[in-house]
Amino acid sequence: MFKIPRGTRDFSIEDMQKRRYIEEGMRSTFQTFGYREIQTPTFETLELFTAKSGQEIIEELYSFKDKGGRDLALRPELTAPVIRFYVDKLQMEPKPLKLFYFGNCFRYDRPQKGRYREFRQAGCEIIGTDTPEAYAELIVLAYKILENSGIEDLRLNIGNLNILSLIFKQLKLTREQQKYLIPLIDKSLFEDVFDVLRDFGIKGEDANKFIEILQTPDVKIIKKYFKDDSAIKEIGELEQILKLIEKAFGIKNYKVQMSIVRGLDYYKGLVFEIEAPILGAEKQLCGGGAYDLISLFGGKKTPSAGFAIGFDRTIVALESENYRFPKSQIDAYVIPLNEDIVDLAINIVQILRNEGFLVDLDLLRRGLGKSLKYASSIDVKKAIILGPKETKQNSVTVRDMETGEQKFIKIKNIIKIFQ
């Protein structure tokens, strides 16, 4: 009768077991890097998002007026809300401030595999430092979260928007011309980039050189391209970050890629992306970098950087790589064989639950055969059967649901069945 809204999903019991398992792992990786969790509201004032991205962003948002006439929007991402929170209440916190979060985001996108209207992000922000080690650690954290989740084929690409801007400057491209080129660079349409540069009056040789810089992973080639000192300094900083990632953190699986653009007016300097090629068209799992929002939101200028991981795509990537998610099993299913034994059955359930075991109880008073069938359908490790014969001897029958083996056990020793 009622249909689920376009671009949204229901998550089954199995889906949620997978999602919670992966989320717990990610949370723990954030924590091992010294990050602490926060949460912000699901909706914000509309202005929070237009302040950075302009009115055009409204097309992509779920925005609405509430009954008090306020313009609000479901959050499309979490960096702006977190920086609003920081400017409002956290500016006095000791630096660096390392914050992480999980949250659902909403975008009025065209739904397809890996692209939804409601999706989940895991992300973080580091505020108050711009040292190479801070940036290197941030990139390593993003990589480790995905690697620890179990994804095998990951591609980490690192770029720098200041360097890209300096290339634009060296080619004397106007802002308008840059705006035209950026989406082409973003999509790696290098032949089109060449044609457009020629239309802008750039010599073929210079256009080719530019495209080489966008494509080469070799920092030495990029370095040679520049004449001015600010570019050399910027590249030197990038080299320091790369050296730390490779030599100190031990991650060799990365590539320099100057064609990463990620919306030039938001990020500045360092940018990076992590992809899972198995995902095909929607292969981007993570995007991040250094950005400047704090002063725009009225805070005291402080360096900040962060990233967001697409949680749903992480799950899709794991499923596509046939990752074996652990089964979350119920430890025991307790079956009283008649009404008189229900009290005792509850007693046993309580003892086991208080010990932290996952325990269910037959609540339908069905016969043993049906109860055992149900127990195996919900993936129980052991069935605990209580009939008159057992209770007379202060015992239970414990059935191993995998092997079918049955044992008579004294109730006082019940906890031992899991040892």
Tokens of 309: 């991981």
What's the min distance (Å) between Cβ of 283 and ligand AMP?
9
Judged by CB under 6 A, which stretch of 144-152, 201-209, 243-251, 309-317 contacts ligand AMP? 309-317
Q: Exactly one of 18, 52, 75, 313 binds ligand AMP (CB under 6 A); which one?
A: 313
Q: Which helix (H) or strand (E) holds 224?
A: helix 219-225
What's the min distance (Å) between Cβ of 313 and ligand AMP?
4
Q: Exactly one of 132, 289, 306, 310 binds ligand AMP (CB under 6 A); which one?
A: 310
Judged by CB under 6 A, which stretch of 106-114, 140-148, 242-250, 387-395 contacts ligand AMP? 106-114
What's the min distance (Å) between Cβ of 314 and ligand AMP?
8
Give the separation between CA 394 and CA 215, rounded to whole angstroms.
Answer: 75
Judged by CB under 6 A, which stretch of 48-56, 109-117, 352-360, 373-381 contacts ligand AMP? 109-117
Give the separation between CA 357 and CA 350, rounded to whole angstroms.
Answer: 10
Stretch 60-99 residues interacting with ligand AMP (CB under 6 A): 77
Judged by CB under 6 A, which stretch of 111-119, 163-171, 208-216, 368-376 contacts ligand AMP? 111-119
Q: Exactly one of 185, 258, 286, 318 binds ligand AMP (CB under 6 A); which one?
A: 286
Per CB under 6 A, 157 contacts ligand AMP: no
Tokens of 129: 């430092």
DSSP character at residue 109: -
Nearer to ligand AMP, 80 or 349 (CB): 80
Q: Exactly one of 122, 235, 285, 294 binds ligand AMP (CB under 6 A); which one?
A: 285
Report the amino acid identity of residue 290: A
Closest CA to 156 of 253, 249, 248, 290: 253
By rule CB under 6 A, what string of x and - marks binding of each residue 113-152 to ligand AMP?
Answer: -xxx--x-x-------------------------------
What's the min distance (Å) between Cβ of 122 and ligand AMP?
9
Per CB under 6 A, 161 contacts ligand AMP: no
CA dihedral 118, 123, 129, 133 (to 10 degrees): -140
Per CB under 6 A, 284 contacts ligand AMP: yes
What's the min distance (Å) between Cβ of 151 and ligand AMP?
12
What is the Cα Rg of the chain in Å? Answer: 28
CA dihedral 170, 173, 179, 181 (to 10 degrees): -80
Q: Which helix (H) or strand (E) holds 361?
A: strand 359-361
Q: What Å distances lie between residue 189 and 74, 178, 184, 194, 218, CA to CA?
A: 33, 15, 5, 9, 20
CA dihedral 84, 85, 86, 92 (to 10 degrees): 130
Nearer to ligand AMP, 112 or 406 (CB): 112
Per CB under 6 A, 308 contacts ligand AMP: yes
Judged by CB under 6 A, which stretch of 138-146, 163-171, 214-222, 310-318 contacts ligand AMP? 310-318
Per CB under 6 A, 109 contacts ligand AMP: yes
Q: Which residue has the tokens 């639950």?
A: 353
Q: Which residue has the tokens 């509430």?
A: 66
Instruction: Count other C-beta atoms under 10 Å from residue 174's C-beta.
Output: 10
8 Å CB contact between 317 and 358: no
Look at the chain and count its residues: 419
| Chain residues that interact with ligand AMP, rule: CB under 6 A | 77, 107, 109, 114-116, 119, 121, 284-287, 308, 310, 312-313
